[in-house]
Every structure is written in C-alpha cells, then in structure tokens.
C-alpha cells in the first residue's frame, strides 16, 4: 500500500526536469480548464454586483467599479425568492425522500424477500433505464393531469412532481446492490429472534446503509433542485413555481444584473449539497 499514490509518472521522475515539465504543463492546462469551468459562476457573481447600465457597457471589465451589494438584497426581495426557495425545497426534498423510501422498500424486497417473478421485475426496471423519459413525456403528463380510475388532477400539486421523481430504477438497483452486501447471518439471527421483515428493514438494513442513502438523497436533491421540464408542465400557478421555472419567466421583467444576482443565489443550495456529498464520496464515483 506504500506506493498507492503513484500515477503514470513515478515520484522519482517527478524530480527530473522532464517529469517536472510534463506535470507543469498538466497543471497549467488544468488551471486554464478549471478557470473555464468556474468562470460562469464568477461571471454571475460579479455581474450581479453591477448597475443595470454597467452590465451592458462595452469592453472588458469583470469586476464592477462600485460593487453594488444591494443588488443581491433587491433581487431576493423583488423576485420574492423566499417563496421560490420554499417551493423548490418542497419539490426537491419531497422528491428525494419519496425516491429513497420507494426505492429502499423495493430494493429490500428484491434483495432479501425473494418475491416470485423477481427476475421479470428486475428486467422491466432495467428497461426503464434504457428508454429516456422524454420519449413518453406526453402520456406521462396526460396521466398526471388526470389520474386514471380516481380522476384526480395533479396539476399545481407538488405530488405531481413527487410521484414521477420517486420512480428511479437506478436508485433501486444501487440500493439492492448495497443491501446484498449485508451479511446473511444478521438476517438469520434476527429471524430466530422472531423479527418481522419490516423490523429487519428498519432496525439494521437501513442504518447499515446510511452512507449510500445519504449520497443518493443528496444526488436526488441536486438533480430535482435544478429540474426544469416537469415543474414547467406541472406547476402552472406562479405562486407555486420552482426557481428554474420562475427565473425564466422573470427574465423579461427585470434587469440582467438583478437576474444574474438571483441566478447566483439559486446556485447556492446545490453547491452546499455538493460539499456534503464530497464528504461521503471518496475516490470518485464508480458505476
């Protein structure tokens, strides 16, 4: 394990001029690309500090002459961002929790309870991964607008987002994989003690899978926070709309500086979630 941290280039080569040159070139290229990756964030941040005339002033000037910190407050108040944040949080947190509950229950059944027709269920779950959602978006919308049999419309209901968000075959398969790793002895011991399936699920299956549950929850939150098409179709009432949908319709009314200030504020929750995510994901995601 002592030499684990060598890459293609060895530590000895790193001390030679040629090795230093190569790594030096790599660092320069990475810094340039890194700057390009982060540039739009900086751009939104500094543009949000400019006055409405300065933002359109020709010429290169990234940092404003007089940073207008009040823009952020003004954007927050005039866009009624509290309400946008509340709506987006309800949609994203509800979606992430719903997805975890539905997926964990199904994954536990597939992993431990041997339902008849398990292979068929797994196969049709896999199929949903191969067919992208846009291909059946229209009937999905028709169904959500008028649920079959009970004839309830989910338009302008957060449940209209939570239900489709909860259906994620990838989450089920990842959780099943993770539940498969839990030692069988635990279940046998619990069965001897007369524990019910639900008890085994709640008392040690879930607690033992906390890291993966948190990772999937955060990934779900980040994805749903930025979702656009479904909220656009489902949440028609402006008072219920999420940040993504609302920001677009406000583009036409307010100045670009306020708009970019609001955009920057809207980036913060997923960025914070990503920082938490970093703590749980070590050494990259493999799938």
Contacts of another protein in 85-124 (CB under 8 A): 101-103, 105-106, 108-110, 113-116, 121, 124
Cα(206)–Cα(111) distance, integer angstroms: 13
Examine residue 75 and tell whether it contacts another protein (CB under 8 A).
Answer: no
Which of 43, 76, 187, 204 lies at the binding interface for another protein (CB under 8 A)? Answer: 43
Q: Is the dihedral of CA 194, 173, 91, 145 positive or negative?
A: negative
Interface positions, 249-278, toward another protein (CB under 8 A): 251, 256, 259-260, 263, 266-267, 270-271, 273-274, 278
Interface positions, 152-181, toward another protein (CB under 8 A): 163-164, 166-167, 169, 172
Q: Give the number of residues in contact with another protein, rule: CB under 8 A.
A: 105
Examine residue 139 and tell whether it contacts another protein (CB under 8 A).
Answer: yes
Which of 233, 234, 235, 240 lies at the binding interface for another protein (CB under 8 A)? Answer: 233
Give least dist CB 228 to another protein, A.
5
The pair of structure tokens assigned to 107 is: 């994954």
Give least dist CB 248 to another protein, A.
6
Which of 134, 183, 194, 252 lies at the binding interface for another protein (CB under 8 A)? Answer: 134
Q: Which residue is listed with tokens 């790594």?
A: 23
Examine residue 201 and tell whether it contacts another protein (CB under 8 A).
Answer: yes
Quote the DSSP letter at residue 55. G
Binding pattern for the stretch 2-31 against another protein, x by CB under 8 A and - elsewhere: -xxxxxxxx--xx---xx--xx--xx-xx-
Exposed/middle/buried for 283, CB within 10 Å: 0-12, 13-18, 19+? exposed
Q: Which residue is listed with tokens 């504020």?
A: 265
Closest CA to 247 of 87, 53, 45, 94: 87
Cα(113)–Cα(205) distance, integer angstroms: 13
The pair of structure tokens assigned to 2 is: 């002592």
For another protein, the closer of residues 189 and 274 by Cβ is 274
Q: For residues 150-175, b (16+ Cβ closer than 10 Å) or e, as one string?
A: eeeebeeebebbbbbbbbbbebbbbb
Examine residue 287 and tell whether it contacts another protein (CB under 8 A).
Answer: yes
Which of 20, 24, 56, 153 lies at the binding interface for another protein (CB under 8 A)? Answer: 56
């Amino acid at each position: 394990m002592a030499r684990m941290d060598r890459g293609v280039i060895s530590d000895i080569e790193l001390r030679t001029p040629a090795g230093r040159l190569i790594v030096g070139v790599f660092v320069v290229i990475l810094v340039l690309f890194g700057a390009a990756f982060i540039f739009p964030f900086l751009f939104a941040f500094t543009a949000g500090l400019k006055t409405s005339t300065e933002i359109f002033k020709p010429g290169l000037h990234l940092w404003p002459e007089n940073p207008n910190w009040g823009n952020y407050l003004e954007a927050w108040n005039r866009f009624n961002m509290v309400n946008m944040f509340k709506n987006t949080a309800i949609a994203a947190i509800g979606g992430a929790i719903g997805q975890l509950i539905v997926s964990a229950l199904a994954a536990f059944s597939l992993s431990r309870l041997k339902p008849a027709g398990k292979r068929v269920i797994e196969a049709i779950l896999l199929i949903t991964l191969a067919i992208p959602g846009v291909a059946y978006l229209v009937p999905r919308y028709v169904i959500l607008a008028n649920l079959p049999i009970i004839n309830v419309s989910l338009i302008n209901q957060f449940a209209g987002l939570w239900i489709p968000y909860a259906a994620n075959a990838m989450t089920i398969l990842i959780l099943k994989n993770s539940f498969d790793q839990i030692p069988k002895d635990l279940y046998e011991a619990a069965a001897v003690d007369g524990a019910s399936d639900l008890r085994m699920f709640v008392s040690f299956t879930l607690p033992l899978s906390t890291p993966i549950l948190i990772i999937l929850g955060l990934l779900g939150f980040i994805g749903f926070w930025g979702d656009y098409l479904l909220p656009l179709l489902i949440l028609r009432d402006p008072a219920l709309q999420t940040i993504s949908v609302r920001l677009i319709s406000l583009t036409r009314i307010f100045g670009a500086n306020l708009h970019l200030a609001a955009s920057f504020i809207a980036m913060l929750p997923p960025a914070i979630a990503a920082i938490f995510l970093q703590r749980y994901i070590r050494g990259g995601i493999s799938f």
